[in-house]
Amino acid sequence: MVMHVPAEARGDERGALLAFIEEQRGGIRRALLGLTEEQARTRPSASELSLGGLLKHVAEVEQSWVARARQEPPAVQRDESNWHETFQLVGDETVASQLAYWREVAAETEKLVRSAPSLDDTFPLPPDPWFPPEGRVSLRWLCLHLIRETARHAGHADIIRESLDGKTAFELVAQEQGTSWG
């Protein structure tokens, strides 16, 4: 964790969960600070991951889980034929367009979490082979899953960014805040 997440107001579990999701989103956004489109598409390791691809992936995954919670289909259907595109900027997709999309998705996530009668409300898991048959999860589970998913990729983003130009997460926080690190 690079940023401090303030303690929630007493009894504000929803606010705490949303704050931790947002803190992890910030790690990915900061990893893109000051990069060109070309740099954001660069894959500096043996992995197929790029910062632009990670950005697209986390936005798409978050949107798909919010859609599932609403019992709607995800905006983008992924299967074996197009799964690789979830980690790549394709066509006219840009970092700016993906950041704008993610802001919309984040607003929808907050709206869902804030408006639900209870974080104990459940929704069905998709019929994918890696989920239990007829499994259900709560909105609380959804928030925790988004924290885990986004944090995992924020760590990837830290490594990719440092591989590109040597900047660490701490330096990027300072850059974002207009201060100096070290």
pTM for the predicted model, two decimal places: 0.92
The Cα–Cα gap between 102 and 88 comes to 15
How long is the chain? Answer: 182
Burial 110-145 (b: 16+ CB within 10 A, else e): bebbeebeeeeeeeebeeeeeeeeeeebbbbbbbee
Q: Give the SS3 label for residue 40.
A: helix
| Contacts of 38 by beta carbon, 8 Å cutoff, 6+ apart | none
Closest CA to 58 of 20, 28, 14, 89: 28
173 burial type by CB count under 10 A (0-12 exposed, 13-18 middle, 19+ buried): middle
| pLDDT tens by residue, 108-149 | 999 999 999 999 999 999 888 888 988 999 999 999 999 999
Residue where the block lists tokens 């950041």: 99
Q: In which band, very low, low, confident or very high, does the pLDDT at 2 lie, cut at 50, 70 and 90?
A: low
- At residue 3, the pLDDT reads 67
Residue where the block lists tokens 């697209």: 56
| pLDDT tens by residue, 81-103 | 888 889 999 999 999 999 999 99
Res. 72: pLDDT tops 90? yes
